[in-house]
Chain A
Amino acid sequence: MHDLLSVLIWLPVLAGIVVLILGDRLIGLGRWIALAASLATLAVSIPLWTHFDTRTSAFQFLEHAPWIPTFHAFYALGLDGISLPLVVLTAFMTIPVIIAGWTVIENRPAQYYAAFLIMEGLMIGVFSATDALLFYFFWEAMLIPMFLIIGIWGGPRRVYATIKFFLYTFLGSIFMLVALIYMYVKAGDYAIASFQALPLTLAEQRWIFVAFLLAFAVKVPMWPVHTWLPDAHVEAPTGGSVILAAIMLKMGGYGFLRFSLPIAPDACRQLDVLIIALSLIAVIYIGLVAMVQSDMKKLIAYSSITHMGFVTLGAFVVYAILRNTGGVAGAALGMDGAMVQMVSHGLISGALFLCVGVLYDRLHSREIATYGGVVNVMPKFAALMVLFCLANTGLPGTSGFVGEFMVVLASFKASFWYAVLAATTLVLSAAYSLWLVKRVIFGAVSSPKVASLEDLNGREAVVLGALALAVLLVGVWPAPLLNVMDASVRHLVDQAVSTKLPLTAMTAVHGLPALPAGPPP
């Protein structure tokens, strides 16, 4: 029981290495090993969910072993309500990627499966590390397989896209590393918990906040550092886009929740308007940009940016609520919404990229103009794609509704205008998603090529069907998910509104003498 997390991390990594060694000649066997490993990883993640104690915000399934004694860095793993859903999401989303590449990837298939399996292990490592150095180790290591995935199996401009992707994220991360090392020098070890407990002056917190912002804003991505994402998505193979949208973007959101808010609460409180402004720009401006795209993948990529805007909005709206109402009632709602939005966006965007993949595999075009009237020849596919597009607009009953509704509701408590601006997404996302559906799915069959399309095969139907079920399940019955997160989110709100400054300095900075009771930082 107590080694579950290590199994989750290293099982896919080892399976990836085995597939790599088997090579392209034994790929028949390699594929099945890859599938078996990804299924086994999901199976191992189920006991995490069932044995998770939802009453406490403490980390569970702890593992603690010496790693680098010289730095007091530990191989320390653990899960709380914030990381558990993301770990399970990672384990779940790798399976469709493996299946989607089954017959499609003909060039160096062994490396393809190996890259995705190794990346799965590393991503689970990011979410379950409780030691900042271990976290960074996984965070950066993950760039290498993604760099190769886009560069080897990508589209015509893949080299440009992958180098841009790598350098952008590397630039952001290195300043996070600098901030982590700074805190290590002060705290004496790399445990995230000791960073959270570390007293820091406001100036220090501001610098740390900015360093984290660089790293996480690139990853989320937030406007104006989002420009790598459309390039990377368009050029990446279907599987790469799915993992990028479903999991990698979540790391940015996770970083804000795990590092920025608890470690630099006073700086967050002071600079929250910046994040909210950037989030709202993402929601509105990028929403408009999404509307004019002629490339399906690009459209979904921009839509990802707007939806991730809700995550940052939900996470940082807590301070505005505190200022507006004098309390933090409703703040947990915003963070819950941010978390649900991350899970939901992982499912929906992954599914949409897989849908585009289905079309691309048949006609080798991502242009919207190539298609039209697909419903006439691919009814099953059309039904599922319409469902995912509706989920993307936030239709009640789908997972997209839950997260966005919670965040909008929380924003109302903060400011009427925040809520109004955030709610425009309901119009904008409906516009671009439904217009996409109209142009691609409906209408008369536009060309002989479209007429020759074949409907989903069994493999594709299983993958998209499973995702559709998940989207509906989270949409209709989000209670188990909210239940798992509840204690940790409440604890996080307490951490976020607590202060690391002495009382007098705090009053001067925030103008708030009294704070809601919370555990000492």
Chain B
Amino acid sequence: MTPAPLTWSTVAPAIAEIALTCAICLVLMVDVFAGERRRGLTITLTLVSLAASAALLIAYGQVGGRVVLFDGLYVEDTLGFVLKLAGFLFLAVVLLYSRSYMEQRQILRGEYCVLLLTALLGIFVLVSANNLLTVYIGVELLALSVYAIIAFDRDNPIAAESAMKYFVLSAIASGALLYGMSMIYGLTGTLALDELATRLSAGALSPGVILGLVFIVVAVGFKLGVVPFHMWLPDVYQGAPTSVTLFVSTVPQIAYFSLFLRLLTHGLAGASHQWSQMFIPLAVLTLVIGNVVAIVQSNLKRMLAYSTIGNVGFIVLGFITGTPGGYSAALYYTLVYVLMVLGSFGVILLASRKGFEADELDHYKGLYSRDPMLALVMLVLMFSTAGVPPFVGFWAKLRIIQELWATDHPVLVGIAAGISVIGCFYYLRIVKLMYFDPAPVGIPQPQPAGAARFALGLNALAVIGLGVLPGPLLALCAGLIH
């Protein structure tokens, strides 16, 4: 096969990745010359380059329908376009929220910005992956960047420990992924996801393919934080600096969603019955363990980690339905969940001061009397995550239950409904601490940080606005996956 000539039209759909790569080089160079004193320049430059890349993506990256590039390694469609835009937006919010937190701890180095950008590049590669190799490159690029980011606060032994844990476990998961891919490649003879989908749907599945599938399910489950592959998640969330937790818990969710979508629902669509059977018990376990264990946590970051696990259970339920409606429900859930988690960790970042980490639940006692705005934002986010209208989290849960009913899964509907009542309790407890309890002495006032506060306010308004008028985002998600 002769490679297609490289012209503008054959690379234009990949404009987001190209722009991002240029930005990485630029930030790296500028940071070297800017020196320690002018760290603000790096972060501003990162924000500007994110905005510029997003603008380029909007200008050149829109493809009507589905375009396959680079000999089938890479695919760009409207879904990818939207997910990449969301990636730019979410990363910019992450930077805004974490800036003053990192400055105070003197861990705002240029490499941090560069690593965030490479992680984003990894996410984009995954979003557009159309080949098992591209999938693996995306997964590894993201994972390697994340190892380094978690260990970034190198004088902090807990952070180093959680980075080590994540590295070891994640390496095993990557191994499993590669092993499963190699088996499937060996039995089907192709790495291209489109071709794989055709070959698998044509004939009966051999036991070898199923075995390979098991390894892939394990790897995907690990990345998502599905029980019993969730052990890394609470440790990483709690151990990493909060600004890093903010990143790890939000932007990569887009990538994990795409990993599931491109690899399992597209490439391995022929085995969808098999993998959904594997995921049903895992999803139930994830829902139960995530929500029940969250109740007994006394550390807010750890509680949110278990809450993430519980919510991942809902996302997996969306995939289990095996219908486009279910996948779009999972997409909606992912986007909405990232929006809510951004806000929750944003509150933790603003409530922390130099030398004080506001990560214990008790630190939120009487937050209302110390900082009404922050308490109100947290109230909105907690009720939203619990799935109470008029906030957007309600619609995410509703969508999943709707799709489960539509595909006739009454037991899963019952479990999902019951577990959301249990989950409600620990979100209510946060509201109780903030609003009903008196403030203890000795807890410092939250940070005034104006820009972050403004963004946080917009974040809460988005949670309310998308909750009262959920139509457009729901229609968008339904339109992206046919």
Contact = CB atoms under 8 A, between A and B. Distances in A.
Contact of B405 (A137, A143, A182): A182
Contacts, number: 78
A166 B424 contact: yes
Nearest to A143: B388
B64 interface: no
Interface stretch (A68-76, A433-441, A472-480): A68-76
Given A177-B398, A178-B417, A151 B388 contact: no
Chain A interface, >50% SS class: helix
B394 interface: yes
B352 interface: no
A360 interface: no
Contacts of A66: 471
A181 B402 contact: yes
B425 A163 contact: yes
B389 A174 contact: no
B407 to A, nearest CB: 9
Given A178-B414, A178-B417, A185 B388 contact: no
A45 B237 CA distance: 52
B421 A167 contact: yes
A141 B390 contact: yes
A157 to B, nearest CB: 11
Contacts of B388: 140-141, 143-144, 170
A159 interface: yes
A148 interface: yes
Nearest to B433: A159
Contact of A171 (B413, B421, B435): B421
A102 interface: no
Given A140-B394, A147-B428, A159-B436, A178 B474 contact: no
Contacts of A152: 435-436
Contact of A70 (B413, B436, B474): B474
Given A147-B428, A177-B398, A181-B405, A68 B470 contact: yes
A143 B413 CA distance: 23
A163 B424 CA distance: 10
A218 to B, nearest CB: 12
Nearest to B477: A70
A71 B418 CA distance: 23
Nearest to B328: A70
A148 B383 CA distance: 12
Contacts of A163: 425, 428, 432
A158 to B, nearest CB: 7
A144 B401 CA distance: 22
Chain B interface, >50% SS class: helix
A141 B389 contact: yes
B475 interface: yes
B152 to A, nearest CB: 38
A24 to B, nearest CB: 10
Contacts of B56: none
Contact of B474 (A71, A137, A184, A185): A71
A151 B470 CA distance: 29
B478 interface: yes
A151 B414 contact: no
A166 to B, nearest CB: 6
Given A144-B388, A159-B432, A185 B402 contact: yes
Contacts of B478: 70
Given A140-B388, A182-B405, A69 B471 contact: yes
A148 B389 contact: no
B396 to A, nearest CB: 13
B267 to A, nearest CB: 27
B406 interface: yes
B420 interface: yes
Q: How large is the interface on A (under 10, 10 to 19, 20 to 34, 35 or more residues)?
A: 20 to 34
Interface in A144-160: 144, 147-148, 151-152, 158-159
A328 B227 CA distance: 57
A137 B402 contact: no
A73 to B, nearest CB: 9
A170 B418 CA distance: 10
Contact of A137 (B389, B413, B425): B389
A175 interface: yes
B389 A178 contact: no
B378 to A, nearest CB: 13
A174 B405 contact: no
Contacts of A32: none
A136 interface: yes
A162 B398 CA distance: 25
Given A166-B424, A182-B405, A174 B417 contact: yes
A170 B390 contact: no
Interface string B461-482: 0000000011100110010000
Give the most central of A68, A143, A184: most B CB within 10 Å. A68
B474 A148 contact: no
Interface in B235-281: none
A185 B406 contact: yes
A140 B388 CA distance: 6
B474 A181 contact: no
Given A167-B424, A171-B421, A174-B421, A137 B390 contact: yes
A178 B432 contact: no
Contacts of B470: 68
B471 A175 contact: no
A185 B405 contact: yes
B119 to A, nearest CB: 32
Nearest to B376: A20
A459 to B, nearest CB: 28
A69 B471 CA distance: 6
B474 to A, nearest CB: 5
Contacts of A144: 383, 388
Contacts of A67: 469, 471
Contact of A68 (B418, B420, B474): B474
Interface in A93-143: 136-137, 140-141, 143
B10 to A, nearest CB: 35
Contacts of B402: 71, 181, 184-185
Contacts of B425: 163, 167
Interface in B386-441: 388-390, 394, 398, 401-402, 405-406, 413-414, 417-418, 420-421, 424-425, 428, 431-432, 435-436
A162 B436 CA distance: 10
Interface of B: 383, 388-390, 394, 398, 401-402, 405-406, 413-414, 417-418, 420-421, 424-425, 428, 431-432, 435-436, 469-471, 474-475, 478
Given A70-B475, A147-B428, A178-B417, 8 more contacts: A136-B389, A158-B436, A163-B425, A163-B428, A166-B424, A174-B421, A175-B417, A181-B401
Shortest Cβ-Cβ A-B pairs, 5 listed: A70-B474, A151-B436, A68-B471, A141-B390, A137-B389
Interface of A: 66-71, 136-137, 140-141, 143-144, 147-148, 151-152, 158-159, 162-163, 166-167, 170-171, 174-175, 177-178, 181-182, 184-185
7 contacts: A70-B474, A70-B478, A144-B388, A151-B431, A151-B432, A151-B436, A184-B405
